Amino acid sequence: MFQNRSINRLPRIVRTLLVIVLFVFGLNMIMCSSTSSSSIELVRSLVPTPRQASNESIIVSLRLGEKVVGNVSPQPPDTPPHVYYRVQLPVNKYLDVAATVRYGPATMYIKIDDGPTSSDFDYKLAMSNLQKEMKHEYYRNGKDETQEYYIGFLGDAEYTFIVKIVDSPVNSGEVSGLIAGLIISLILLALAVIAIIAGGIVWYRQRKNYASARMV
With b for 16 or more beta-carbon neighbours within 10 A and e for fewer, the 132-158 pattern comes to eebebbebebeeeeebebbbbbbbebb
pLDDT of residue 41: 31
Residue 159 binned pLDDT confidence (cut-offs 50, 70, 90): very high
Nearest Cα neighbor of 149 from 94, 100, 88, 106 is 88
Which 8-state DSSP code applies to residue 54? T
Alpha carbons 195 and 201: distance in angstroms, whole number: 10
Please check the confidence at residue 172 and state whether its pLDDT lies above 50: no
Please check the confidence at residue 164 and state whether its pLDDT lies above 80: yes
pLDDT of residue 174: 52
Domain ranges of the chain: 2-33+174-215, 42-170
Query: H helices within 34-171, ranges in order?
Result: 35-41
Instruction: Give CATH for domain 42-170.
Output: 2.60.120
Say whether pTM exceeds 0.95.
no
pLDDT of residue 81: 86
Which 8-state DSSP code applies to residue 3? H
The secondary structure element, H or E, covering residue 194 is: helix 172-215
Please check the confidence at residue 140 and state whether its pLDDT lies above 80: yes
The secondary structure element, H or E, covering residue 176 is: helix 172-215
Which 8-state DSSP code applies to residue 40? H
Residue 39 backbone class (left: φ over 0; alpha: ψ -120 to 50; beta: rest): alpha
17 or 195: which carries more pLDDT confidence? 195
Query: H helices within 34-85, ranges in order?
Result: 35-41
**β partners of residue 61:** 86
Percent of the chain with pLDDT over 70: 62
47 or 22: which carries more pLDDT confidence? 22
Rounded to an integer, the average pLDDT of 131-155 is 85
* Alpha-carbon Rg for the chain in angstroms: 28
